[in-house]
C-alpha cells in the first residue's frame, strides 16, 4: 500500500497576485495615472487580505513595500498643497467621503460604467471614483484620496493606530441651539441690523476658533442659546466709515473640497452695532486674532 504524497505547506499569500496589485497601486501614484480610484480601492482591499495571510497578521517583508507606497502617495498629494488655497478643506472633505461607506464589490460588479473605457467628464453622470479626474481640482481630490487609501493599507499592515485624522475635532465646536453657561464668558452686547432694516439684539462671544451669537435664556439667568455659529477663518469684517460703533460682518459657510470652486454660501451678512466705539474696537480685535 502506497502512502499518500506529502501535503505542500499552504502559502498564506499569492506572491504573483500581490506583485500585480502592487503594480496597480504604483501606477495610481503617478500624476498622469489612468487608474480609477475604485480600481485602487479594490486593489488595496485585496492586498490587505492577501498580505495578512492565514495568521491574520502581515508578514514583515510587506511593511517596507507598503511604506514605500505611502511615501509615493504622499509625494503625489504634496504637489497640490501649495498651489491650491483650499487644499486643507478638500483634504478634510475627502477624508469624510472615504470614511462614509466601504467598497461594495457586489454593487461594483453590477455597474456597467466599470466595463466602459474610463471617461473624464463629470457630465457623464458617472461617480468620481469610477472615472478619471477632470481639471486641476479633481486631480487634487484624486491625489488626496489615493493617499488615504494607501495610508490606510500601511496602517492596517503595520498594526499602527490612527492618531492624526481627522484634522478637525468636532467635539469642541458649539452647535446652533446649544444652551451655554454665560456666567464666566466675556460677552459683548450688540444689535444685528439686516439690509432690510430689521434688527435683533444678541450677545457676541468669540473663542479661539468660533464666533457665536447668543440669545439670553429668559428662563435661566446667566444662560443663553447659540443662535448662529461660524468659524473665524470664514469671517469677513469691515469697519463703518460713518459710524465707529458699527462693524460689517459676513459669515460664510465652511467650504468643502467638492464645492470649493463654487460661490460661497453666506450664513449672515449684516451690520453689528455696539454700545460705543470702544466695544466696537474690542470686538474687531477679537474677531481678527486668527
Q: Name the helix (H) or strand (E) containing 197.
A: none
Q: What is the pLDDT of residue 257?
A: 45
Q: What is the pLDDT of residue 15?
A: 77
Q: What is the pLDDT of residue 271?
A: 93
Phi/psi for 139 (5° steps) reads -65, -35
Q: Name the helix (H) or strand (E) containing 33.
A: none
Q: What is the pLDDT of residue 259?
A: 47
**Residue 167 burial by Cβ neighbours in a 10 Å radius (0-12, 13-18, 19+):** exposed
Residue in 235, 244, 230 with CA at minimum distance from that of residue 280: 244
- With a cut of 50, list the residues of the chain below it in pLDDT: 9-10, 54, 56, 257-261
Give the other-Cβ count within 10 Å of 153's Cβ: 24
d(CA 5, CA 23): 36
Q: What is the pLDDT of residue 181?
A: 81
Q: What is the pLDDT of residue 247?
A: 93
Residue in 194, 184, 192, 193 with CA at minimum distance from that of residue 224: 184
Please report the sign of the dihedral spanned by the C-alpha atoms of residue 269, residue 270, residue 275, residue 278.
positive
User: Contact 236/250 with Cβ under 8 angstroms?
Assistant: yes
Side-chain half-sphere of 140: how many Cα atoms within 13 Å? 23
User: Contact 51/57 with Cβ under 8 angstroms?
Assistant: no
Lookup result for grid cell 459669515 = 251
User: Contact 211/251 with Cβ under 8 angstroms?
Assistant: yes
Beta bridge partners of 192: 200, 272
Q: Which domains does the chain have, with CATH numbers?
A: 15-158 (no CATH), 179-287 (2.30.29.30)
Amino acid at each position: 500500500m502506497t502512502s499518500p504524497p506529502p501535503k505542500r505547506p499552504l502559502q498564506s499569500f499569492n506572491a504573483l497576485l500581490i506583485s500585480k496589485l502592487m503594480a496597480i497601486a504604483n501606477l495610481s501614484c503617478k500624476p498622469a495615472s489612468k487608474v480609477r480610484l475604485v480600481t485602487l480601492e479594490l486593489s488595496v482591499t485585496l492586498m490587505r487580505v492577501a498580505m495578512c495571510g492565514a495568521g491574520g497578521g502581515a508578514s514583515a517583508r510587506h511593511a517596507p513595500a507598503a511604506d514605500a507606497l505611502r511615501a509615493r502617495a504622499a509625494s503625489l498629494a504634496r504637489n497640490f498643497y501649495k498651489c491650491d488655497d483650499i487644499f486643507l478643506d478638500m483634504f478634510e472633505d475627502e477624508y469624510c467621503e472615504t470614511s462614509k461607506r466601504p467598497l461594495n464589490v457586489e454593487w461594483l460588479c453590477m455597474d456597467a460604467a466599470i466595463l466602459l473605457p474610463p471617461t473624464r467628464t463629470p457630465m457623464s453622470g458617472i461617480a468620481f471614483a469610477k472615472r478619471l479626474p477632470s481639471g486641476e481640482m479633481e486631480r487634487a481630490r484624486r491625489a488626496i484620496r489615493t493617499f488615504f487609501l494607501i495610508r490606510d493599507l500601511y496602517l492596517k499592515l503595520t498594526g499602527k493606530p490612527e492618531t492624526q485624522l481627522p484634522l478637525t475635532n468636532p467635539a469642541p465646536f458649539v452647535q446652533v441651539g446649544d444652551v451655554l453657561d454665560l456666567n464666566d464668558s466675556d460677552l459683548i452686547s450688540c444689535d444685528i441690523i439686516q439690509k432690510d432694516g430689521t434688527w435683533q439684539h444678541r450677545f457676541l462671544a468669540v473663542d479661539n476658533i468660533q464666533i457665536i451669537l447668543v440669545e439670553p435664556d429668559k428662563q435661566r439667568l446667566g444662560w443663553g442659546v447659540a443662535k448662529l455659529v461660524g468659524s473665524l477663518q470664514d469671517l469677513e469684517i469691515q469697519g463703518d466709515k460713518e459710524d465707529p460703533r458699527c462693524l460689517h460682518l459676513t459669515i460664510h459657510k465652511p467650504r468643502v473640497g467638492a464645492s470649493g470652486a463654487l460661490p460661497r454660501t453666506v450664513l449672515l451678512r449684516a451690520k453689528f452695532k455696539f454700545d460705543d466705539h470702544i466695544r466696537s474696537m474690542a470686538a474687531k480685535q477679537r474677531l481678527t486674532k486668527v
